[in-house]
Structure 1
Amino acid sequence: MLRRPENFGIPYQRADGRWVVPYRVAPNQWKPITIPKKEPVVGKRQALEWAAAKILNGRISGSIPKPRTTNDGPSVRELFERWMKLREPDEELSAATISNNKSHFKIHVLPELGDIAVKSFGTIDGQKKIAEFIRKLKGKAGRQTVNNVAATLRTFLDFTTSPEGDAILSENPLRKDWVRNLLPQRHKQDGRFATLDDAPLNVADVQKLLDGKGVPLGRAARYTLAFTSLLRDGEIAGLRVREAHLDAPIPFVEINKACSLRHRDGFAKLGPTKTPWSIRRLPLHAAAVAALRAWLDLGWEDLVGQLSKPDDPLFPRDDGGFARPPSAAFFRADLVSVGLSDKRAGTNLCFHDARGCGATWLVNANVESALVRRFLGHAPVGAAELRYFKGDLLAALGEAQKKIGLVWRR
């Protein structure tokens, strides 16, 4: 058992490999001691010994810079600034997550709770303010926005219970049952979500979309991948030409990366897939094979002005780089152009609905749920899928895919 000197917390290792030792400088006040990379420290014991030696030698002072405070300690606004300074360099967090954190606080949290002392959230009065904030937010924002803002605030308050957040709160009130009950719930009747018997679009509708003379070739080819291989928009945007194996015995596509809308390096940059399970090989439907051949033979060169190379994006912008077009807006415009509705139950359809349609068609065709999950890039369920389904399952996936009755007629 590791014995810790007085006033030292449990050491932990950051994502960049550096060890951090929490040190108590006052009641409920901690200073994180970060050990330089050059120090030959291995494990918690050596981290404690290094930090203790520095404290005893006076190399590290027993005080920390005080943030601007209210009468009852640091406010939400002040600790939010410190929280973001810790999160922004963390390469484990995506640019989209950081951007959402900032916008949730700037637009919703800080105007209502910014000048309130964080410490007060440990009291009944402070928790009433949280409840009032959530109720007010529900009155002006949609269900998903309310839940997303609450999730960001919950993560922030987790920080305030940690040594790096001065352990101001002993527990996070947003993890209480009363808060979960206060947040809006998803209802099965929500028109936005298809039932198994009522997909947003049926096969005949999508065939009409693919045949539409006003639908550009590149967009129609993208639709075949989304409806038959159930690829996400970012996965399609992240494909390279060499990753579409059109001449294989079972034609297939490799998904190894995704093109992110918001990336640390800028807009439309190649990055990791949404989850580890999203890295997969999927068969290409006959309609998709024909569509991709037409696109690579005719459309790609017309767009870029030169022949495609294996490492080029499969669906580039006009300068040959990776692209993230406004797929939802294009999808709705193309639906309207062929005489179809761009809404479901009064809500706009989006490109992501193509995955929902394809999954619904497969389930209604009695395709095994494990195969549908593999198409979607979702986590396996149960030991059989996790431990014993090895390899691509391309043959089984290909047979299932044939049940989607789309054809390429252009």
Structure 2
Amino acid sequence: MGNLYSRAGSRFLWMKWVDAHGIERRASTETGDRAEAQALLDETERQEGERAPLGRQVGMTVRRFFEEIWLPQRKVLRPFAWQVDKGRLEQHFLPDFGDRVLSQLASDRAEVELLDWLLGLRSKLSKRDGKPLASRTVWNIASIVRVFFSDALERKKIARDPTEHWNAERHLPAKADKEQGWRQRAGFTLDQVVTLTTDRRIPEDRRVLYALRFLGGGLRPGEAANARWRDLDSARGPLWRLTIASAFNTLTRSEKSTKTGAELNVPVHPVLRAALEAWQAAGWQRFMGREPKPDDLLVPRQEGGQRRVTTSLLQFHADLEAVGYGLQRQYESRSTFRNLALLAGASEFHINAITHPRPQKASDFYTRLEMQWGAMCRAVECIDASAWGGRTVVEKSGGEGEAKEPASPLRVVTAPGYSLGTGRKKAPPSLTDGGALRVTPTGFEPMFST
């Protein structure tokens, strides 16, 4: 990048820049106005950039800006998403433009090159399966490249944003699932949920986890992994209340807000309540070797920490194979909960209040949890508890088939407050593929309106 400076004996500002051949040049701007002088310098550098041979190292390269400035900033701004953004740029953008001089991309010629690159994403093949990239992947890559150049412009490392005039609707493919129809085939029936929560071929702790996820409002893996005993309000009626205000992020090994930033208030289904009572009374201690405390996780790893989404996926697939079911995403717990309740006659408004409480329109801000709580409980109870037919989630303390004393109620009673909250959908490679699905986190700020 060039710069302006004052020169003894001259009433004008002078400028210094590097020409198209890499030679440093100096000249008077013939003006004392700094804004005019800067505009002249910017235009001079733009013209030199257009004349420079492609790839000539004159100034900061794209890769250097990425590594020294953009990525450290990204880690601060997007602590739970920067690794995904980094991967998209390293895999799809930097191989083509990493060695280019960043300032020289603010030219008409470079803008056309970037547009050609964007169009080329349509036919680029995935390293995973050798097929063209999914349309949502293309959109995500294009969006993070736009963010990259927007940040470079904000940092004054480039004179203009060469992606500013990209026409997303015209140049990017329509958003669609890579494997058509998989969403319609996904999800679990009520009988399958009963099996996943009671079949003794599945370890006890994972049966409790599946009860929590399929009957507890369809919690996402990170939300269920971070649920603690103190989050249960056993004094609430007509059903207990489970309040989820945070989730566990596997990549960063840290807690964060829920995906939408909203607080979830979930009525505890009768089958889930019975499972939690028995789990708290005896099962948790069998699994962990001690009694649970309020700050303990409901279903931890054996060493006491949160379950990792990647490990949970592998275990979920193993459990599906053990009971003879085809492989599916573990994220189908939410779709299953919603569809089972709606199929049984639950109000969609109240199911939405459980699974997606973040306000979406003006009228949502008038919804009051306490006034709707009874109806939310009835919506959850639409999932027929009699389908379990006396089958239990947690092992009976005296052995299967023997009489058992009623489990003592939870000793953890809280009264969490309520907040309406503040302000990637991607198909697996194949729903019948025996291999583990690749799990990546979501989260990037879209640069295109959709």
Q: After TM superposition, is the score higher than 0.5?
A: yes
CA contact (8 A) 1:230 1:358 kept: yes
Change (3 A) 1:188 1:244: same
- Relative CO higher for 1 or 2, CA cutoff 8 Å, sep ≥ 6? 2
Distance 2:191 2:329 in 1: 18
**Partner of residue 45, structure 1:** none
Report Cα offsets for 1:50-76 as digits up to 9, x if no partner. Answer: xxxxxxxxxxxxxxxxxxx94675432
Amino acid at match of 2:147: T
CA contact (8 A) 1:301 1:308 kept: yes
What 5-or-longer segments of structure 1 have no aligned partner? 1-22, 31-68, 343-348
**Partner of residue 172, structure 2:** 182
Tell me the CA shift for residue 255 of structure 1: 0.6
Change (3 A) 1:178 1:316: closer
Instruction: Indicate yes or no: 2:147 matched with 1:151.
Output: no
What 5-or-longer segments of structure 2 have no aligned partner? 1-33, 43-54, 127-132, 393-450
Moved more, 320-329 or 97-106: 320-329
* RMSD over equivalenced CA pairs, Å: 3.0
Tell me the CA shift for residue 156 of structure 1: 0.6
Distance 2:90 2:315 in 1: 30
Moved more, 364-373 or 151-160: 364-373
Instruction: Indicate yes or no: 2:192 matched with 1:205.
Output: yes
Change (3 A) 1:199 1:323: closer
**Partner of residue 271, structure 2:** 287
Tell me the CA shift for residue 386 of structure 1: 1.8
Equivalent residue pairs, number: 331
CA contact (8 A) 1:235 1:258 kept: yes
**Partner of residue 110, structure 1:** 94
Q: Pick from 324, 335, 354: which aligns with 1:339?
A: 324
Distance 1:84 1:180 in 2: 30
Report Cα offsets for 1:314-356 as digits up to 9, x if no partner. Answer: 11122223332522222222122112111xxxxxx11101111
**Partner of residue 245, structure 2:** 256
Distance 2:323 2:297 in 1: 28
CA contact (8 A) 2:243 2:265 kept: yes
Amino acid at match of 1:284: V
Distance 1:107 1:116 in 2: 16
SS of the residue 1:274 aligns to: coil
Report Cα offsets for 1:89-142 as digits up to 9, x if no partner. Answer: x2x422x31111222222222112212344436525543444335525743234
**Partner of residue 259, structure 2:** 274
Change (3 A) 1:121 1:363: farther
Alignment of 1:2-401 (within 5 A): 26-27=38-39, 70=56, 74-81=60-67, 82-88=69-75, 90=76, 92-94=77-79, 96-118=80-102, 119-120=104-105, 122-124=107-109, 126-132=111-117, 135-136=120-121, 138-141=123-126, 142-143=133-134, 144-162=136-154, 164-170=155-161, 172-173=163-164, 176-178=166-168, 181-183=171-173, 185-186=175-176, 190-194=180-184, 199-228=186-215, 229-246=217-234, 248-249=236-237, 250-263=239-252, 267=253, 269-277=254-262, 279-324=263-308, 326-342=311-327, 349-391=328-370, 393-401=372-380
**Partner of residue 64, structure 1:** none
SS of the residue 2:250 aligns to: strand
CA contact (8 A) 1:226 1:354 kept: yes
Change (3 A) 1:397 1:108: same
Distance 1:167 1:392 in 2: 54
Instruction: Using the aligned pairs only, state the percent identity.
Output: 24
**TM-score (normalised: structure 1):** 0.71
